[in-house]
Chain A
């Protein structure tokens, strides 16, 4: 009784500390919870003299290499680079906004584009446009002008560039403006990163990608072993939980489809979930049930995964917050969180420990599974092991949850954890509303346990 009260108190303290960390992280988030609506893009288009049609689509673009390279280059100053929200309109035209800064503009060619601007007068002709579209236009210098005549219309392309502050050292920015007649048809701002941080980021991603393939191969061998165990059990007429396994596998497939994964990925993880549940649910002893732990443990583990970058940066290294930006709508993000929980946890915290435990023992089995889980979703880091070790620590927490309260509790914990973690890097996700909800749920459940004990 006293032990469980101590556990509840510790849990409450951890949940409160997690809430404090999430609150501090709010300012690092790229997009506020009002999210990327299309209205700012429409207003930007009108300000540039283009009346767009209704928005047809709204997507977020990175690219991820640039965002991470910027994060690495500015880790001391801490100004994250937001992804670009691109709104495309029915009838043509698109506007891209990075936060409040216009980075992309394109409109259809009007039937009367206006009188042709001589190439020598182009810089003066662009001044009104630049004053409206590019607030810091004064820092750009004209580098090149190219012209062509197409279907009787004279097109000019002006390329402007800048370097130095406020860009990080070694970075440059290029602005390309295309004019037809006297109408600005398109404008595009492109960041040209310093090769050093970009190279570090992309090289780390490639290296961890190789490690990921190794883990997938090892997990594939594990899944085949589970298949053999199921086949043997079927042959010897051992009762297996077919219904629950099929439900879980179907749920996994559905969530993966909702998250936009391909068929091979769906088949692999659904099969892994199916065989893992059959083996563990039918052949292993179920430990104490602990579904109540899912919310508080998920919140704490999410805080751990955000704390690792803080600690590594304080020690002079670098780990990005979260992972690759998820550009899906918030439902897709939730589906991805559910897919990771329902697809990976039965295998990592159920099937693999069941296979490995007779050879290496329980602790080693869960640590091995934690390493495998960490390498499935690696992020670049300096030094390289920092990104993986932090994740290993957090996934070992899931191993403890599974060992103590069962793999199903680990599935629920992982779902809460991924919702909070993935939501942080998804611009369309209402992260600012989800983490307080998770916090209140976790704290409330712990207090309820306190009363019961």
Chain B
């Protein structure tokens, strides 16, 4: 019994041990530094960039997206952490007037062999080796828009399928209504409304040439409204069932989340750290994600019920496979880990796992004080609560719970 307690305590603080033992790695500089360097050091394109609309973190640097208020073009510039800013890329609306250069002129001007051309409404654009001639402006190749990785679509399809199955399971097998998870989720949706304006900095794919930025922002906010409205409705339509939260699933979930964040440290987590409203995302985001993960886990339990007593093993194997395949496999891994939990504690485990992910990822990848302070502060608060909770449970009191 005592050994089990010591082991549990060790697992709770394992992330700190792992974090201190990790070799030093390159951390992201804040995007403000990248913006300063881009605007002062990047090669000129010969036109006004406009206002900074969004940014994205790549493995070795920041990619910044500028668009003027008329929206006719989008300039993106990659700023690597230890190198000079690269030649910016330019995506311009096809109706913008420009010359229709011949291949010979393009060859002379760019110094490379033309690979192909695009006849636009107002000009001709050429693709050369590693570059694009937009009319007469030589720019670098623009980033690909949209998530095109196969692993992303696999993971998303599986998780969406499980979520749908979980929603069907909750409608078909209603369980006693518990108000605490519903109130938590509704409160999280309300808080996330305040995160939407700042989160638009992450939606670089919405800013397209030819579309005015304020329209893109309106569409993004509409999208966020639909998602949050659907979540809030789901709180009533497919409510989570959870007994009174127990210490161990919450502690284990937070620890596992920290470890997943530490080990994977995806680039998008560093981008989230740069968002002005990161505190709302840090506090309210895990509740929404935890609800969806728990729902997906319920779907897995329904679909895996033919496996009988082998379903935990299958869930474990699928989870490990998901974690091993890549970054988006984390989604599948989190769902399987939640499915291994008792169903009455799955919601708390999933919320804690999601809550631990961002602090762990920031600790591993972010190199400026603000997000590190927030991660440490949030984690310290959680560990303090867990400590008091464990102490009170050990003393035999009925601990302060979150369940209704």
Contact = CB atoms under 8 A, between A and B. Distances in A.
Given A198-B122, A235-B172, 8 more contacts: A195-B122, A199-B93, A210-B208, A211-B219, A214-B226, A221-B230, A228-B237, A232-B172
A207 B211 contact: yes
A94 to B, nearest CB: 20
A214 B222 contact: yes
Interface string B222-238: 11001000100100011
A243 interface: no
Contacts of A221: 226, 230
B121 to A, nearest CB: 6
Interface string A186-229: 00000001010011001100110011011001100100110110
Which are the 8 A-B pairs with shortest beta-carbon distances?
A: A232-B171, A207-B215, A206-B210, A235-B172, A199-B95, A218-B226, A210-B219, A198-B95
B187 to A, nearest CB: 18
A231 interface: yes
Nearest to A205: B210
Nearest to B168: A231
Nearest to A200: B95
Contacts of B238: 228
B97 A195 contact: yes
B121 A198 contact: yes
A322 interface: no
Which range holds the interface residue count of chain A?
Answer: 20 to 34
Contact of A202 (B97, B210, B216, B219): B210
B164 interface: yes
B94 interface: yes
A65 interface: yes
B137 interface: no
B210 A203 contact: yes
Give the size range of B's interface with the partner.
20 to 34
Interface string B198-215: 000000001010111001
A210 B215 contact: yes
A354 to B, nearest CB: 13
B168 A228 contact: yes
Contact of B71 (A65, A203, A235): A203
B18 interface: no
A195 B96 contact: yes
B24 to A, nearest CB: 42
B340 interface: no
Contacts of B94: 202
B72 interface: yes
Contacts of B168: 228, 231-232
Interface string A356-390: 00010000000000000000000000001000000
A384 B212 CA distance: 11
Contacts of B72: 199, 203
Interface string B89-106: 000011111000000000
A203 B223 CA distance: 20
Q: Which of B71, B223, B226 has the most CB of A within 10 A?
A: B226
Interface in B72-111: 72, 93-97
A172 to B, nearest CB: 12
Nearest to A236: B172
B134 interface: no
